[in-house]
């Protein structure tokens, strides 16, 4: 599958490996996350995208940041806590 860069979500470096790619795409409200096979271990891909983003190239969105993930994770934990609370009350 080939998608335009403007359809690919990217997380800030601190979130790499913390949330999965589906969550990154969801938080960015984009259909896909930037693919693993296009990422190098040295992080050059990230610098290239940041440069393009700073020059308004390729219609790139801002990176998903920790503050976005915290809101998202808080929602998940609250939902899980409510489900766990209901289950423990039934016992």
Q: Which residues pair with 11 in a beta bridge?
A: 64
Please tell me the distance from the alpha carbon of residue 49 to that of residue 13, in angstroms, as a whole number.
Answer: 13
Condensed to tens digits (0 to 9), the pLDDT of residues 21-63 reads: 999 999 999 999 999 999 999 999 999 999 999 999 889 999 9
Mean pLDDT for the chain? 86
Q: What is the largest CA-CA distance in the chain?
A: 58
Please tell me the distance from the alpha carbon of residue 18 to that of residue 22, in angstroms, as a whole number.
Answer: 12
pLDDT higher than threshold 90 for residue 75: no
Overall pTM > 0.85? no
Please tell me the distance from the alpha carbon of residue 84 to that of residue 60, in angstroms, as a whole number.
Answer: 39
How confident is the model at residue 68, as a pLDDT? 83
């Amino acid at each position: 599958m080939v998608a335009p860069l403007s359809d690919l979500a990217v997380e800030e470096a601190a979130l790499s490996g913390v949330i999965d790619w589906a969550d990154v795409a969801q938080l960015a409200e984009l259909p896909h996350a930037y693919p693993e096979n296009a990422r190098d271990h040295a992080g050059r891909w990230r610098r290239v995208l940041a440069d393009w983003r700073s020059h308004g190239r390729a219609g790139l969105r801002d990176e998903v940041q920790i503050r976005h993930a915290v809101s998202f994770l808080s929602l998940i934990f609250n939902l899980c806590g409510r489900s766990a609370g209901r289950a423990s009350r039934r016992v």
